[in-house]
Copies of this chain bind each other. A is one copy, B any other.
Amino acid sequence: MEIRALTFDVFGTVVDWRSAIIAELETLAQKKEVQGDWAAFVDEWKAFYRPAMDAVNSGERPWTNVDEIYARALDELLPRYGLTNMRKPEIDHLTHAWCRPHAWPDSAPALHRLKEKFALSTLSNGNFSWLVAIAKHCSLPFDCVLTAENARAYKPDPRVYRCAIEMLGLRPEQILMVACHNYDLAAASSHGMRTAFLPRKEHGGDQTADQAPEHDWDFVVRDLEDLATALSC
């Protein structure tokens, strides 16, 4: 069974969100004349994400977009880091820093190669609108955008993968899930999708998690250019 479509995890796999948001915070802090450990701020900010999503998946919390999760986190983080003198548009702009990541250097060239042969979709836990914005900001030529919002559940909830398979109108084995997170591939694989793993240092140079495949994934590659080569693109 031939692969027809590729679904990409985006934060971490396709883009480097952390260094871009740290840079935005540094610029903001300089303007506000506030000192702080902005890498620690970003790591704390990111840490709000999983518990909030798990609460949505379990039904404990109603459907909540990631932008709302991150915006609410700022209510707590900004005062703690001394960023108190912020107007609403400045806070909104900071929340949307998640839409202004840096693409990893291999991402855009590889997607252009892969697009010649496959349908390329996102399959991210980010907002639909954020993914559209990221694709434009980083010039990533996805053919379509699928996110948690389409399924109103977050990866690794089965509803997200089932929704993607249904929307793409393909058999699961015709879809290759591409991610730098083993948990995401494990979930995709359990629905019959094929899997490609690549390591990323999305949490910074000291990251040790997800630097190697934890299962026998269909493809294990160095980066997305390497994946394009493995798929004869």
Contact = CB atoms under 8 A, between A and B. Distances in A.
Interface in A115-174: 119, 121, 127-133, 135-136, 141-145, 149-150, 167-170
- Most chain-B CB neighbours within 10 Å: which of A119, A149, A167? A167
27 contacts: A5-B132, A67-B169, A119-B133, A119-B136, A121-B132, A127-B169, A128-B168, A128-B169, A129-B167, A129-B168, A129-B169, A129-B170, A130-B169, A131-B144, A132-B143, A132-B144, A135-B144, A136-B143, A141-B141, A142-B143, A142-B144, A143-B145, A144-B144, A144-B145, A145-B145, A149-B167, A150-B150
Interface size class of A (residues with CB under 8 A): 20 to 34
The 4 lowest CB-CB distance pairs between A and B, nearest first, are: A129-B169, A144-B145, A128-B167, A119-B132
Contacts of A127: 169
Interface of A: 5, 67, 119, 121, 127-133, 135-136, 141-145, 149-150, 167-170
Nearest to A149: B167
Contacts of A67: 169
Nearest to A116: B136
A232 to B, nearest CB: 18
